[in-house]
Amino acid sequence: MKKTKHIVITGAGSGLGATLAKKYNEKGYHVSLIGRTREKLEKLVQSFSNSSYSIYALDVSIFEDVKSTFDQIVKDNGPVDILINNAGVGYFDLAEKITLNQINQMIDINLKGTIFCSQQVLSSMKERNVGSIINVVSTAGLEGKITESVYCASKFGVKGFTESILKEVADTKLHIHGIYMGGMNTHFWGDELQDEKETGLMSPDDIADIIIFNTELRKNINIPEITIKNH
């Protein structure tokens, strides 16, 4: 009997994370959903096509909570086959106007959260010589942008971390992917979804399909970077 693959997705309560969670659920994976708000996750799973999922409320910026939650995830559902580091937050203003709290949140969640979660799965993946880590970075990790200085700084950090662990696992069968995409039509940009024809924002449904297709395990192939730009 084939073992059900186990995927962990952070920031799964909305936007791209929610779309990925739903699609992997449809593909038959056991999906462990992580988000800061349990109610959002519970609402999301009502639309799932099967009951192979688990919900964990977690702030990925708190190391002790990340460690204990991942220990529980593995205890409940077995080793992690795929980790998608998707949790992120952004505040946009001129560099001198960004507040201390906003700076801390972006560095703590976007960068340190990605590091903390990756640390929890790397040892097991190396021991089993199997597994994938998919870091959702954004094009803000490729180039500086006006009013996005600290957001870009956090994402450049994730890019450096992603490229470094890719080299650390070069002699294994692990797969490390950095996803660099432009603006998506999600609540990240405000409470209301935008008119995609007017804004040029990309659909998270399309982005999720591209990520899933390009990160599937294929013999002798690894795709370390996937860049998706607005047309």
Catalytic annotation, residues = 151
What strands lie across the sheet with 82-85, from one edge to the other? 53-57, 30-35, 6-9, 82-85, 132-136, 175-181, 225-228
Amino acid found at 170: A
CA-to-CA separations, 7 to 21, 136, 187, in angstroms, rounded:
9, 15, 24
User: By the 8 A CB rule, do 150 and 95 touch?
Assistant: yes
User: By the 8 A CB rule, do 96 and 150 touch?
Assistant: no
User: Nearest Cα to 173, choosing from 216, 118, 220?
Assistant: 220
